[in-house]
Amino acid sequence: MAKILLTGADGQLGHSLRKLASNYSSFEFVYTDVAELDITDALACNRFMQTEKPDFIINCAAYTAVDRAEEDSGTCFRLNADAVCNLNEAAKAVQARLIHISTDYVFSGRHYLPYGETDIPDPESVYGQSKLKGEDRIRDEDHVLIIRTSWLYSVYGHNFFKTMHRLTSDKEEVRVIYDQTGTPTWATDLARAIMQIVTSSLDDHDAFVPGIFHFSSEGIASWYDFAREIGTLSGHEARIVPVETSEFPLPAPRPFYSVLNKRKIKEIYHIDIPHWKDSLSACIEEFNTITN
CATH code, domain carrying 129: 3.40.50.720
Q: Which residues pair with residue 148 across a beta bridge?
A: 102, 214
Residue 286 lies in a domain: no
Q: Whole-prediction pTM value?
A: 0.96
What is the model's pLDDT at position 203?
74
Residue 284 lies in a domain: no
What is the model's pLDDT at position 205?
75
Residue 283 lies in a domain: no
How many domains are contained in the chain? 1
Cα separation of 274 and 66, whole Å? 27
Residue 230 lies in a domain: no
3-state secondary structure of 197: helix
What is the model's pLDDT at position 111?
83
Q: What pLDDT digit, counting tens, does each position of 236-260 carry?
A: 999 999 999 999 999 999 999 999 9
CB atoms within 10 A of CB 53: 12
What is the model's pLDDT at position 290?
87
Cα separation of 276 and 255, whole Å? 19
What is the model's pLDDT at position 202?
84
Residue 225 lies in a domain: no
Q: Report yes or no: 104 and 260 within 8 Å, Cβ to Cβ.
A: yes
Residue 26 lies in a domain: yes
Residue 224 lies in a domain: no
Q: Is 127 a catalytic residue?
A: yes
Cα separation of 3 and 23, whole Å? 14
Residue 237 lies in a domain: no
Per the structure, the complete domain to which residue 32 belongs is given by: 2-158+185-218+259-274
Q: Which residues of 81-101 are buried (b: 16+ CB within 10 A; e: fewer)?
A: bbbbbbbbbbbeebebbbbbb
Checking 70-73 for CB contacts under 8 A at 24+ apart, the result is: 70/125, 70/126, 70/251, 70/252, 71/251, 73/126, 73/130
What is the model's pLDDT at position 291?
84
Of the candidates 127, 178, 257, 269, the residue annotated as catalytic is: 127
What is the model's pLDDT at position 35?
93
Cα separation of 165 and 192, whole Å? 24
The residues of the chain scoring below 70 in pLDDT are: none
DSSP 260: B
